[in-house]
Structure formats: structure tokens, C-alpha cells
Structure 1
Amino acid sequence: MKVTQIPFQKTGFFSKTMHHYLERNKQLQSFYNNFPNIDGFKNQIEEKQQNYTKETRSILVESLKNQYHNFSISEKTQQNLDLLEKENTFTITTGHQLNLFTGPLYFLYKIFSAINLSEELSIKFPKQNFVPIYWMATEDHDFDEINYFNFDEKKVTWNRKDGGAVGRFSTYGLQDVFNVFAHHLGNSKNANYLKELFSKGYLQHKNLSDATRFIANELFATYGLVIIDGDDTELKKLFSPYVKDELQNQYSYKEVSKTIAALEKSYKIQVNPREINLFYLDDDFRERITLEDGIYKVNETDLQFTKEEILLEVDKNPQAFSPNVIMRPLYQEVILPNLCYIGGGGEQAYWLQLKNYFNKVTIPFPILLLRNSVQVISEKQAKKLEKLDITKEDIFLNQHKLLSKKVAENSNLELNFSKRKVFLKNQFLELKEVAKQTDITFLNAVNAQERKQLKGLEKLEKRLLKAEKRKQKDLVDRITKIQNELLPNQSLEERQRNFSEYYLEYGEDFLKALKKSLKPLQLEFTILEL
């Protein structure tokens, strides 16, 4: 195994927002609290310790014990559940949708980031304990985003009727999905493990929440991962004061809108708040709550409440109130002794919109950490890259730029016309001096001719490059093939492939390699050669 780190910025797959965050650009500093380094965590521990109550901790632990009822718990996970009862224990959290069979590869990278950071902080701060948390997005209702995974360039899909929170979905119908998937796997030792994991997860559990917990627990229990389901009555009771506050005052809309007005001057906005950022949740639906003429209505239903009635409903039926993307982060930070949220670039960008809202409701804003990203390269692929003289950073170049670069390096001709363009511009400078001594129409004619000549040179440059690519067709084909293998659909493979492809080849060693190689606080992109 060989591990190489390169800056996230060198991959071309991360936004300006994330570049500036990693660089601690002053433009962005007012939108977050503590930065993800040791000093930042020291400050965050102090802030959270003053804010998190013993009563909340007790309810959290009891809820987690109930959620793990009927599940086998590893010794390490049990230790972490016990540690959560102690006032000097804090959490490191990542969250993810309930994607079929974990979905894209980065599901693993998120969780190993949380596990490894917890272990690193335990060394840096020996007087405190740190527990990695996976927050299951059980209340999401975007089924089309989670009902498939890619395996060996094929899409494995679960087709069923949509509606309601996905965690409550029955696993009925997944036998057919299993049959299709199993057919592609073969009968090796690793294939049989994957079959067993899928079948035990989805065919022996009644709903998607339990199935996902089983699979994540099987993959990560050795490392002490604790899995939480926010669709829980006792946990929702803890959040009820903030739900009532939202219904009466709409602070999330007001504060996030102010932040957006400042943030959008320089950065892309990820999510926009609604006036009320809550859903009403039932077994068959999850619909927005709106306020019209003093009446609270549940979209697409006949349900409606007066102010007094809806506040009473929060007390009677707290599990029915489900936070949307704006309020879910607050829910997490209210119920957990959390220090840090680990997520992808898009997730962190919308968290950056929330700090003022957190300040308004006096909940500490967590440290935001960009999750580890990984490019896996096999030994065979590494040899091909070496023969083609493609560097680790070259892999991530736009394909046209990569081919142009390598064809130029392999050519006896000078394919770049930059010097010729400079020479041409210098020639026209002399003409412009002459033109200035006549009239403006002659100067305009000179400028127009310069543009024409430069455009002509650019066309010739492109034609020469195109001709050279045809001449070097074998090289072009080899480069195209290897880059397409590494970056399917010209995207990071972690967003396209499922872990089962690598587990099929490497087995448990793949998970061990990730565990060993991912360094969350290095804030760099990981290239893993296996």
C-alpha cells in the first residue's frame, strides 16, 4: 500500500467555497466558528462543555440503548455507549442518507474520517473521550436519491412506491434486488460475504432504518462506531422547545436569510430557507408546514392547526415534527455532545449559512471538517500511469487538457503557439503607434486585423494539435482509457462506485487500508495505491 496526499485544490473537483475555507480566507471567516485544528478543538470542547446538560446526555444514552435493542453490539461500540454517559465525553459526527447498500464509496470515507479523528483527539486530549457517530438520515424523503447503487458499471435499483420518511420504508421487494446483485457477484469468499451482508441487512430486517443500521454496524463495529436515528420520540422531545420557537418566531428563516445576503456576494448558495423549516411526518407522508393567515397547514393534506393547537401537538406528538435541511443540523447539535461535523463540500457549504442562526438560539456552532476524499489506484493502473508519465495531479486534469499536455510532451513539434502570439502582438504594437498619428478609423482597422490574425493563429494551433492527436492515436487511446477507469463519467470515483467493487477484490484489507491511510486533520486529498 502506498499513500500520497495532494491539496484538494489540485483536483479541480472542489468549489471556491471549500478552497477558501481550507485556506482560511478572511472573506469566509465570519461564517464559521472554530477551525479544524488542535487549537480549534480545545476551544470547542470548552464551549460545548458549558452548554450540554447532564439531563440531555442521560436521555441520549437511553435512546441509543433502545435503538440498539435486538442488535449485536461489539465490545468497542458498547464501550463508547458507556463513555457517552460521562460528562467528559464528546462526539464527532458525520451523516449520510440511507443509500441502498451504502451507496457511493464516500459513505466509507465519511465514517472512517469520524473514527480516525476521534482516535486522534483521544491522544491529543487524554482527559476527554471522543466517540464517532453516524447520523442516519432516516427522515429524508428523496427516495430517488437513495434507491440504487452502481456496481461494475451497472445500476442496481430498488423500484417501489415512494412516500414518507425513508427510514420507515418496508424492505419488501429487496429480495428481487438481491437476486440481481448476487448474480453479478460470483462465488468467491469475498462475494459470499457481500451476499450475506446484503441478505442479512435487507431480507432479515423490516424497515430501511434497521437494515442500514445492521450494515453499518457490521462494517464499522470493530472501530466503535455509534449509529443514531433521529426519528425517535424521546430525542424529539429534547428538540421540542426549538420546534415551538420555529413555529412562533421563524428565526431560522430570518437569520439564514441575513447570512445568505452576505454570503452570496462571493459564494454560491447551497440551500434557501422557507418561512417555516419543518415538516409534518406520518407513516405515509412528510409534508411542509406552512403558515397562512394565522393557521398552520400541512401541505398536500387536510391537516391544519391554530397556534394553540399546533403547540399542543408538539407536546403530544413530538415525533411528527421533522426538521428540514436548515434545522436538521440544529437538532443534531442540541441532542449530541458534538464538537465537529464531517461532510462533503456541498454539505459544509450549507452549514456555513447557519452560524448566525445557531448564535440566535444559543447553541454552539460545531467545527466543520471536509471529509477525506480518496482515489483508489490498483497496482496495474499505477504501472500504466508510470509508463505514460502521468503524475498523481495529472490524473485530475480535464481530459482535453491532459491529452493536449501529453501529446505536446511526446511531439517533436512546438504545438503551443504562445510565442508566436506574443511576436504577432509586438508587430501590431508598432502598427498601432503609426495608427495613432493618423485617425481613429485606421486604429480601429489595425485592432480588428490584430484580432483576426490572433484568431487565425488559435485555429491553426487547434488544428495542429488535432492532427498530432490523430498521429499519436495509440497514446491518446491509452490515456483516455486509464483516466476513464479512474474517473468514471469524468467525476471522482467516490461519487460513482460502490464499496462492493473493491471489497470483492481486496476483502477486509480494503477497509483496513482506508482506516490506516485517512488523516482527517491533514486537510488533503488521498491517493491510495493498493
Structure 2
Amino acid sequence: MKLEEKYIPPSSKLMADYTNEEPKILQYFSYKPSLEQARTRLESLESHPVDRKRLASIIEGYMEPFGISEASRKNLAHFEAGASVVVTGQQAGLLTGPLYTVHKAISSILLAKEASEKLDTPVVPVFWIAGEDHDLAEICHIYRETNGRVEKLNYPHAKLGKCAASYAPLKTGEIESFLEEYFRSLPETAHTKEIHSLVFGHLGKADTFTSFFASLLNHFFEKEGLLYIDAAYDQLRAYESSFFTKIIENSGAIAETVVEAETALQKDGYSAGIDAKEEAAHLFITIEGERLLLERDGSRFAVKNTALSYTEQELLDIAKREPQRLSNNVVTRPLMQDLVFPVLAFVGGPGEIAYWAALKGAFDVMGMEMPIVMPRLNVSLVDRRTAALLDKRGLSFEDVVVERKIPQLRNELLDHIRDEETEAKIDKVKQGLAEEYEELVSRFTAVSAGLTPLAEKNLRIHLNQLDFLKNKLQDEVAIQNSTQFNQLAAIENALLPEGGLQERVYNPVPYLNQYGAALVEDLLALPLNYDTTHKIVIL
């Protein structure tokens, strides 16, 4: 395993300016994206009210079914004794979801270690599982490469409706068949049986999307002491009761400040991507198993697309007596996270950090300060075959990912191998045919104007047939030179699948299958600098 670190420009202006610490974007955050002011942030957390004993017990209760490692118990003890936390999180994707989920966990672990050393006090990494999310389409799929193409496999979920991931049951037969089909598409290696056993072993312990996700992630990071909590865990919801009360009471002010922030961001040339409305309550309520959006309607809270509504007092009563029915959206989730935990730093991806740019005022409304917001590490895994192909074609990682040269190389190759003489002959025939038809059309028109469209249509048919012949010729030439085209496709599928970074498409299993079960552990052992460079790991 070899590490290279290259600077790859962020895809958005907001992220580019944020990582470069431009004042225009930093005004929307409380701290720079570094640990430079970690001591100041730590001191501000001294007044943060946390029932550490109760919260540690809640985390322990959630993690117990998945197994709590010695390192995790040590971090639980550190937390109970007063440690701050580095938080990251993600939805409960199948097979952990895209690779960036693993990269987030790695980032939080490395940042917590770095902060611990800098501050000379324990800092604990925490993974906040967004099990409350009900958009199952976002988590019910995996990508695979098969026959030179990137293909999306969808797990059937329509029958589950708007059920939160933590309550969406995994039907044993269906999910096993789905994953067996996926494994059949992987190349057989020395590690396949072990990885298959690992995945299906954790699947056997799970009954929901979230428990399957948590079980796998816990396995990968058990030696690092990463702590987990599911946003939809009933005991956590009970702990959050008073926090829901505070959010409900400040709902109008939160909505107003987020709208104002988005407007200001747009004027400065940025986009938070929330598209917030002043009537938004930024909360959901669960009714008969379905998670439904709340909106403010005058003095009431209306359930969107229904005739149901609640007074503020009725909603406050639910927060007090049935907090499990309430859940957060993209605006209130960060607020709740920081109400629950003493967050030294939050680790997020580009989309999340764009959301956070609109939340400073919301934190102010809640009487809190935004934590340090750190971009997660960006990582690409390069398997041996891809590394060999890059070397063979004299390409660098940047050529493929930044310069996006593969389409250009594909066209150049086609130009090089094409049968230009035959193509020129076809073009000459087309030109001659068009010239002959010009006179023919005139003769038809002289007989009857009604015959003109028929003659013109006949010409188009002949020209289309000649184009068809030309395309078939090019296809056959490409097939005869398929090895070179396949190599270019393999490089692109590996590093830039679907036109995006690998970490946003593939899950970890193909790489575990190639490298072995120690992949995540070995990634953590690399000398990864927590900076803005892209980590290119050659397996």
C-alpha cells in the first residue's frame, strides 16, 4: 500500500474558498477549518450542559448488541470523565454506502487523535447515524462494475413508504438474494470467501438498514474506539426531549435566520443548497409509522400534505411525552447534535459544509456557538490493475480526475485507427448522391409539386443508410481494437465512475475483495496528513 497526496481543486466555489480560508466565506462560520483555535473552542465547551453519565449509558446501550471493544469502552470512560468529541455522520447505506462514509469515520478518528495531542486531553470520535432519514431511495442501492459498465443495483423499498431507516425491516430472503447477486459480479479472489462471510455474518445479526450499517462499521473500526449513536434510538430521543422543546419554541426565529443566511450567501456568490422557507418548522413527526414534514401555519404546526395540525402546546406535549415521534431535518440535525454532545469539531463533506454555512444564526438563536467545521479527507483507492493501466498509458491520477482526459484519448484513438479511406469513399458517395438527387428532385417537382416531399424523403433515407454503414464500420474497427478502448474504460470506471469521484459511488466491498479484510485498518496506519490534499492510495 502506497500513499500519494495531491491537491485536487474542490468542485464548488464555497468549498474552494472555505479551504483557502477566504474571509468572505469564513464570516458564516465561528472558526477556521483547522485546529488552530481548538483551545478556544474547548474552553467554550466548559459551560455546555451534558449529563455525561446518562449519555454514556445511552451510547453503551446502543452499541452493546454490536459488541463494544476495549478501545470503545476506554473512549466511553473518557467521555463520561469530561472529554469533548469530534462528530461525523451519515445515512445508513447498504454495505456502509459510498466509500466516503468510511473516509468520514477515518477523518473523525484522525482528527480526534490530532486534537488530543494538541490539547493534551482526550478527545473522542463519534459517528452520528442518521437513522431517522426516510428517503430510502438514497440508501437502497449499490453500484458495481460489470462488463465494462458501471451499473446501479436497486434494492426494492417502495413498500416501506416513508418509514425511517432505523425502523425499515430488512426482509431476510430479499436482502440475501440481492447481496448474493452483487457478490456474483465480483471477481473471485483469495479474499472473496472471507469478505462474503464477513458481510453475511453481520447481515445475520441485523433486522433493519441501520443495524446492518452499524454492525459493519463497528467491525471496521473496533480497534479505534469509534463510538456510535443512532439519531432514531429511543433512549437518545428521550434524552433529547428538552432540546426538542427548545427547537419548537425557537422554530420561527430559526427559520427566519436560515432564510436570511441563504440570501446573504447567494449575494456573495455561494449556495447553501437548503432552499429554506420562512414557514419551515425544520422538524418531522411520525404518524402511523410514516415520517412527515411539519410546517408553521400561523400559530399552528401543520403536517404537510395532510389536514392534520398541532398547536405549539400540543407539539411541546409530544416533545415531553413522546419525543420518539419527533425528528430533525438538515437544519435542526446539527443543532440537535451540538445540544446533545460537547462538539469540539464536526467533520463533513462538501454538501454538509454548504448547509452549515447557513446555520450560524440558528446556533446563535439556540444560545450556542458553531463548532469547528472540518472538511473530511478525500481519498481514492487505486487497485493494482488500474495502477498498471495508468502506467502503461503514461497517465497520472490528475490526468484522469482533474483534466478528464479519457474522452479525449478515446477520440484520439478512434481517429488513429479509423478506416479513413473507406469513410472518405462513403462521404464521396453521399455527396454525389445529393448532387444527383438535386436534379432528380427538380424533375419530380416539374411533374407535380406533390412529389417533391417524396423525393426529398427518399434522399434522406439513402443518406441515413450510408451514415449507418459508416457508423457500423467505426464500430467494427473499435471492436477489433477493443483492448485499448476497454483499458481506457477500466481506468475511467475505477477512478471517475459515472463522471464523479470514486468515493461517491462505490462501497468498500470491491476493495476488501481485492485487498483483504485488513484494508480499513491499513488505511488508518498510513501517514495521512489532515489537510486539503487528495489521498491517492495505491493498493
User: Do these two structures clear the TM 0.5 threshold for a shared fold by scoring above it?
Assistant: yes
Aligned to 1:155: 152
Aligned to 1:315: 320
- Equivalent residue in structure 1 for 2:296, among 279, 291, 311: 291
CA distance in 1 between partners of 2:406 and 2:184 (Å): 40
- Equivalent residue in structure 1 for 2:74, among 79, 100, 104: 79
Give 3-state SS (helix, strand or coil) of 2:106's partner: helix
Relative distance call for 1:182 and 1:406 in structure 2 (3 A) is closer
Q: Given residue 297 of structure 1, which amino acid in structure 2 is its aligned partner? A: A
Aligned to 2:431: none
Alignment deviations for residues 383-408 of structure 1 (CA, whole Å, 9 cap, x no partner): 43234332332222343587379979
- Report the Cα offset of residue 238 of structure 1: 4.3
Aligned to 1:92: 86
Relative distance call for 1:295 and 1:485 in structure 2 (3 A) is closer
Alignment deviations for residues 105-154 of structure 1 (CA, whole Å, 9 cap, x no partner): 1111111111111122222222x111111111100011111001113344
Relative distance call for 1:33 and 1:178 in structure 2 (3 A) is same
Aligned to 2:137: 144
- Equivalent residue in structure 2 for 1:45, among 42, 46, 57: 42
CA distance in 2 between partners of 1:378 and 1:75 (Å): 33
Alignment deviations for residues 299-354 of structure 1 (CA, whole Å, 9 cap, x no partner): 34554323322222221111111111110000101101211111211111111110
Relative distance call for 1:395 and 1:187 in structure 2 (3 A) is closer
- Report the Cα offset of residue 376 of structure 1: 1.8
Aligned to 2:104: 110
Relative distance call for 1:189 and 1:480 in structure 2 (3 A) is closer
Please state if 1:69 is matched with 2:64.
Answer: yes
Q: Given residue 6 of structure 2, which amino acid in structure 1 is its aligned partner? A: I
Is the Cα contact below 8 Å between 1:202 and 1:208 reproduced in 2? no
- Equivalent residue in structure 2 for 1:515, among 519, 524, 527: 524
Q: Which ranges of 4 or more aligned residues in structure 1 deviate by more than 6 Å?
A: 404-408, 472-477
Is the Cα contact below 8 Å between 1:164 and 1:282 reproduced in 2? no
Task: Decide which moves more: 480-489 or 507-516.
Answer: 480-489
Give 3-state SS (helix, strand or coil) of 1:390's partner: coil
Is the Cα contact below 8 Å between 1:113 and 1:519 reproduced in 2? no
Give 3-state SS (helix, strand or coil) of 1:399's partner: coil
- Report the Cα offset of residue 271 of structure 1: 0.6
Q: Given residue 4 of structure 1, which amino acid in structure 2 is its aligned partner? A: E
- Equivalent residue in structure 2 for 1:251, among 244, 250, 253: 253
Q: Where do 1:421-432 residues align within 5 Å?
A: none
Aligned to 1:195: 196
Is the Cα contact below 8 Å between 1:342 and 1:369 reproduced in 2? yes
CA distance in 2 between partners of 1:169 and 1:318 (Å): 19
Is the Cα contact below 8 Å between 2:382 and 2:494 reproduced in 1? no
Q: Where do 1:1-20 residues align within 5 Å?
A: 1-9=1-9, 14-20=11-17
Task: Decide which moves more: 26-35 or 243-252.
Answer: 243-252
Give 3-state SS (helix, strand or coil) of 1:393's partner: helix
CA distance in 1 between partners of 2:395 and 2:188 (Å): 36
Relative distance call for 1:394 and 1:329 in structure 2 (3 A) is same
Relative distance call for 1:509 and 1:167 in structure 2 (3 A) is same
Is the Cα contact below 8 Å between 1:171 and 1:203 reproduced in 2? no
CA distance in 2 between partners of 1:500 and 1:279 (Å): 34
Aligned to 1:270: 273
Identity of aligned residues (%): 25
Please state if 1:365 is matched with 2:365.
Answer: no
Is the Cα contact below 8 Å between 1:151 and 1:500 reproduced in 2? no
Alignment deviations for residues 425-471 of structure 1 (CA, whole Å, 9 cap, x no partner): xxxxxxxxxxxxxxxxxxxxxxxxxxxxxxxxxxxxxxxxxxxxx9x
- Equivalent residue in structure 2 for 1:489, among 498, 503, 510: 498
Relative distance call for 1:387 and 1:204 in structure 2 (3 A) is closer
CA distance in 1 between partners of 2:243 and 2:65 (Å): 32
Q: Size of the alignment, in residue pairs?
A: 463
- Report the Cα offset of residue 493 of structure 1: 1.0
Aligned to 1:21: 18
CA distance in 1 between partners of 2:533 and 2:508 (Å): 21
Give 3-state SS (helix, strand or coil) of 1:247's partner: helix
- Equivalent residue in structure 2 for 1:133, among 122, 126, 130: 126
Relative distance call for 1:478 and 1:168 in structure 2 (3 A) is closer
Is the Cα contact below 8 Å between 2:360 and 2:370 reproduced in 1? yes
Q: Given residue 43 of structure 1, which amino acid in structure 2 is its aligned partner? A: T
TM-score between the two structures when normalised by the length of structure 1: 0.80
Is the Cα contact below 8 Å between 1:41 and 1:339 reproduced in 2? yes
Please state if 1:337 is matched with 2:339.
Answer: no
Q: Given residue 354 of structure 1, which amino acid in structure 2 is its aligned partner? A: L
CA distance in 1 between partners of 2:163 and 2:305 (Å): 12
Is the Cα contact below 8 Å between 1:171 and 1:202 reproduced in 2? no
Pairwise CA RMSD of aligned residues? 2.8
Relative distance call for 1:252 and 1:238 in structure 2 (3 A) is farther
